[in-house]
Homo-oligomer: A and B are copies of this chain.
Amino acid sequence: MPRVAVDVLLKREILDPQGRAVEEALPGLGYEGVSEVRVGKHLEFEVPVDGDALTERVEAMCAGFLTNPVIESYRWRVIDGAERADA
């Protein structure tokens, strides 16, 4: 069963207060020069279909439930076991 990873961020033109907070905290912790910080959601799940049906299902889930397309954008990919963030 394919495992899908979805990354969600606020659109680039939308203010991201959480990203701003991280960016402002980093220099005080010794990490200078980190910029353009954006913070969003990461989801992983298994979907019981493949190929075009997988694409259609994931796009529908992302646009219809997992994200708010008015203010968020997303990107998804199929991952293998070694690419899991909790591997």
Contact = CB atoms under 8 A, between A and B. Distances in A.
A51 interface: no
Interface in A14-72: 19, 22-23, 25-26, 29, 31-49, 57, 60-61, 64-66
Total identical chains: 2
Interface residues of A, number: 48
A64 B11 contact: no
A33 B48 contact: yes
B39 A41 contact: yes
A46 B34 CA distance: 6
B9 A86 contact: yes
Given A3-B36, A44-B9, A29 B86 contact: no
